[in-house]
Amino acid sequence: MSLDIHAGELLAVVGENGAGKSSLMNVLYGLYHPDSGEVSVEGRPERFRSPRDAIDRGIGMVHQHFMLVPTLTVAENVVLGREPTRWGRLDMERAVREVADTCARFGFTLDPRARVDALTVGSQQKVEIVKALHRGARVLVLDEPTAVLTPQEADELARVMKDLVRAGRTVVLISHKLKEVLGVADRIAVMRRGRLVTEVRAADTTADQLAALMVGDAPRAATDEPAPVAQAPGEVLVEAKALHALGDNHCPALRGVDLTVRAGEVVGIAGVDGNGQRELAEVLTGLRRLTSGGGTLLGGPLARLTPAVARERGVGHVPEDRLRRAVVKALSVEENVALGRHTKPPFAKGPWIDFAGRRERTRELLAAYDVRPPEPTLVLQALSGGNQQKVVVARELDAKPRLLVVVQPTRGLDIGAVAQVHARLREARRQGTGVVLVSLDLEEVLALADRVYVLFEGRVTGEFTRPDYDERELGRRMLGAERAHG
Amino acid sequence: MGERARQALPSVLSVLLSLVVCWLLIALTRDADGFTTATAAYLQMLWGGIGDWPTFLGGSPVAVLTRPIGEAAMKAALLTLTGLSVAVAFKVGLFNIGAQGQMLLGALAAAVVGSHVELPALLHIPAALLGAALAGAAWAGIAAALRLYRGVHEVISTIMLNWVALRLVDNWLVVGPLRGVAQAGASITGTAEIHASAALPRLLGDVSRLNLGFPLAMLAAVAVWLWLERTRTGFETRAVGLGDEAARAAGIPVARRAGLAMALAGALAGSAGAVLVLGTEGRYPGTLGAPYGFDGIAISLIGNNHPLGVALAALFFGAIRAGGTRMQLLDVHKSFPELIQGLALLFVAGRLIWLSVLRRRRAPAPVLSAPTAPTPEAPHA
């Protein structure tokens, strides 16, 4: 494939998971080496042996997962690897001065002396951008930059990107969020299955056209999915009363949550990030201890639930932090498919691992969920993020859970994968699974849920039942407006 | 090249490189005939490790083979057991620096059971081995408990427990309460002689010290490998080592797996002590100087923390260390094999450098290249 990047433009590269966006950019950044073909910068063919070569030629990259040392300050992180020295000793005063200069030149408000782990995610991303600029980057590549940001931070980032282009820098934005791409990009390159499909001017296209180009001839509706078919809710699976729990920071995160989940319904948990949604999901899956309150979950007490007991009772879990909680990235795909069910057939025969059974079931699941490449022995971290998530969803649904707790199941996924995950969740609901869906994406919650609880500061501030979804009222509740509500 | 070979290659190359470096060191520190001497010294080391075949084929008795082989095998057995100890702890994500202390406790337990208990041989040997394994496991268990319940890092606690074990055993128990009773006026150091029923039987006659401990150590390597790779609990142990949060979320009892793996590590190191006492020493001597527990760290790393890799590394270094004494015939210091081992460890530590060098020489590494499109010839091991 060929792609030209013009100076001073904001180019967006869009495509589904595994379309090759990240691979392309890693070639550009010197992390991967092309089997054939070449990269030219300002007309001169280059052979980047490492990111250092790319940096020297003015290419900077901001990865989806930040490459920062959390315990160092902003200035220390920015100069890391090329620290200014005086008489062979680190000259921190000069580093701070230089970093402050760079920030001022591009209009960033960052304190060079602040420790990185004290910054918000949005600010950490700015540190990454400043780092690249400080090293003289004229072309800045941003890989899925908004995946980790709140909507406000994403707006802020869009402004930063436009400012950079105005200052004469070139920005390459890798994304699959079409709306956001249309809002900021000058030109959009669409990739599919390792090929450049087309390049369009942002002004001349629409989200629908782009979506069609990305997925190819098989149009998959992702944005306007049909509302779930009404079905009578079944038995009560979870009856939780006055749940209290502490967060990771040892402050109360849940402060009296009541919750009911029935078989065959999707219960959405809506709210602004950090209002107890994550902790609620952890309580329901046995990962977090209650400080008080309780109730029943799948026929047993909710208090003192452990992950093993939860799984035994039939709880499935698609956690938010995939690499930390859901998979062991250094194990193979098939070992990850077995994880959590490795003591049961077809994954085990008595105390032994059933290699043949595990291989066969893994192959079936990889095919059914369209995981690419469908290779059971591949180490999991060789899969792209979207394909990893498919593996997790496949594993959890294959266990036929009675209760499925999913947190941010489609974050960072492309349109096709989102549609697939949503379809699988609907299918689970239809078959009588109770689904608890925690998502920061209100559209996703409203599209799937039969009932929505709104959480604010660890309390339920509203409960809405389909079809009485009043988005403005929901938004008010998410910001803490409380009113007696049935 | 298969994935397994690719994993083993850095270790093999590191060992070869350290052999070359040491050969140069010997050659360049001689006044004259350096290269001839170095080569001759290496040959002596070889015959000292695998048996003196030239002399044997020249008509000497078979002892010129069995004696060196016995020395090499017993060193290999001890290195295998302590290497496995470190490797098992590694698999669950813990760094066991305490194999030395666990080995001392195991040696003492074997000496006590061997001398203070009277049983038929069929039961006495297993009892003494079991006692040693339990003592080693208990000693490692202290570090595991401190880690799991109090958050004390196991590197710190196992290092400190090594010293506690040394003082406790060598400086008090062995010279105090457990000191052997002198017979016929002759004063002895260390604990009482073990009963003949507890001694590990020799397998190649009396002239060779090769005993049951060697096959047991090899068996242990295979058993540990089978356990880690083929069983549910072994899988759980590896999963905990590679991602404890994900293992916890999957319902795996993380603390129990870590605790049991650490106890097994201690049991293996303790068994090394038993092989030393029941196989070659016959009692706990005045001081058990041999630092096989620390060698275990090097063996484990050179063996890539793989049980069979550990056994292979132990066989190799057991052989050259047994052969090292014969280097003295050429005025080369016998500690050169230890230098070779140390250098190999140093080179193995640069494992990532090896891998990147090897990757550059061949096509892009299959496992790490990002899957872009559906590749029909999907790469795998």
CA distance A275 to A255: 10
pLDDT for position B1: 54
CA distance A344 to A366: 19
Distances (CA, A) of B135 to B132, B191, B291: 5, 17, 18
Please list every residue in chain A whose beta carbon sits closer than 8 Å to the beta carbon of residue B381.
377
A306 in reach of chain B (CB within 8 A)? yes
Greater confidence, A250 or A112? A112
pLDDT for position A341: 92
Task: Please tell me what DSSP assigns to residue A324.
Answer: I
Nearest to A390 by CA among A357, A414, A354: A414
User: What letter represents residue B249's amino acid?
Assistant: A
The radius of gyration computed from the CA coordinates of chain A, to the nearest angstrom, equals 24
Q: Do B239 and A339 touch (CB under 8 A)?
A: yes
Distance from CA of B337 to the nearest CA of A (A): 35
pLDDT in tens, A150-169: 667 788 888 888 888 888 88
Locate tokens 């000793």: which residue? A89
Nearest to A136 by CA among A52, A45, A67, A42: A52
Rounded percentage of chain A residues whose pLDDT exceeds 70: 93
Distances (CA, A) of A13 to A161, A251, A335, A472, B336: 15, 41, 34, 34, 59
Q: Do A306 and B246 touch (CB under 8 A)?
A: no
For the domain with range B3-180+189-361, which CATH number is right: 1.10.3210, 1.10.3470, 2.40.40, 1.20.120? 1.10.3470
Alpha helices in A431-470 (DSSP H): 442-448
Distances (CA, A) of B13 to B302, B312, B319, B341, B343: 10, 14, 18, 13, 12
Of A78-92, A241-255, A289-303, B142-156, minimum mean pLDDT range: A78-92
pLDDT for position B362: 55
Task: Please tell me what DSSP assigns to residue A379.
Answer: B
Mean per-residue pLDDT, A410-420: 83
Enumerate domains of chain A plus CATH numbers: 10-215 (3.40.50.300), 236-478 (3.40.50.300)
Mean per-residue pLDDT, A325-343: 94
Interface of A with B in 357-396 (CB under 8 A): 372-375, 377-379, 382-384, 387
User: What letter represents residue A308's amino acid?
Assistant: A
Please list every residue in chain A whose beta carbon sits closer than 8 Å to the beta carbon of residue B304.
none
Distances (CA, A) of A17 to A171, A326, B373: 21, 19, 10
| B interface residues, A as partner, C-beta within 8 Å | 229-233, 235-236, 238-239, 242-243, 245-253, 364, 367-375, 378-381
pLDDT for position B334: 83
CA distance A342 to A355: 11
Domain ranges of chain B: 3-180+189-361
Residue in chain B nearest A333 by alpha carbon? B380
Q: Do B246 and A339 touch (CB under 8 A)?
A: yes
CA distance A241 to A459: 12
Greater confidence, A483 or B168? B168
Q: How many CB atoms lie within 10 A of CB B184?
A: 4
Q: Using alpha carbons only, what angle is made at residue A452 by residues A446 and A454, rounded to the nearest 5 degrees?
A: 110
CA distance B101 to B291: 10
Please list every residue in chain A whose beta carbon sits closer than 8 Å to the beta carbon of residue B378.
373-375, 378
Nearest to A314 by CA among A336, A303, A299: A299
Cβ distance A245 to A414 under 8 Å? no
User: What letter represents residue B173's amino acid?
Assistant: L
Give the distance between the most distant pair of CA atoms in chain B. Answer: 84
Optimal mutation site among B229, B233, B235, interface A, most CBs of chain A within 10 A = B235
Interface of A with B in 173-212 (CB under 8 A): 193-194
Q: Using alpha carbons only, what angle is made at residue B331 by residues B329 and B335, rounded to the nearest 5 degrees?
A: 95
Locate tokens 């809506």: which residue? A270
Q: Grade residue A102 by pLDDT with cuts at 50, 70 and 90.
A: confident
Burial code of B246-280, b = ≥16 C-beta within 10 A, e = fewer? Answer: bbbbbbbbbeebbbbbbbbbbbbbbbbbbbbbbbb
Of A53-67, A270-284, A427-441, minimum mean pLDDT range: A53-67
Q: What is the pLDDT along chain B (381 residues), one digit of tens a residue?
A: 577 787 888 899 999 999 999 999 999 988 878 899 999 999 999 999 999 999 999 988 998 999 999 999 999 999 999 999 999 999 999 999 999 999 999 999 999 999 999 999 899 999 999 999 999 999 999 999 999 999 999 999 999 999 999 999 988 898 888 887 766 556 677 888 899 999 999 998 888 999 999 999 999 999 999 999 999 999 999 999 999 999 999 999 999 999 999 999 999 999 999 999 999 999 998 888 789 999 999 999 999 999 999 999 999 999 999 998 888 888 888 888 889 999 999 999 887 788 777 776 654 444 433 333 333 333 343
pLDDT for position A226: 56
3-class secondary-structure state, position A462: strand
Out of B232, B246, B380, the one facing A342 most closely (by C-beta) is B232
CA distance A182 to A176: 11
Of A116-125, A288-297, A399-408, B102-111, minimum mean pLDDT range: A116-125
Per-residue pLDDT at A218 exceeds 60: no
Cβ distance B82 to B70 under 8 Å? no
> What is this structure's pTM?
0.75
> Up-side HSE of residue B205: CA atoms within 13 Å toward CB?
10
pLDDT for position A442: 80
Please list every residue in chain A whose beta carbon sits closer than 8 Å to the beta carbon of residue B237.
none
Q: Residue A466, Cα to own-chain centre: how many angstroms?
A: 27
pLDDT for position B377: 37
Please list every residue in chain B whose beta carbon sits closer than 8 Å to the beta carbon of residue A307.
248-251
Mean per-residue pLDDT, A200-215: 79
pLDDT for position A265: 93
Burial code of A131-168, b = ≥16 C-beta within 10 A, e = fewer? Answer: bbbbbebbbbbbbbbbbbbbeebbebbbebbeebbeee
Distances (CA, A) of B296 to B100, B261, B273: 9, 16, 13
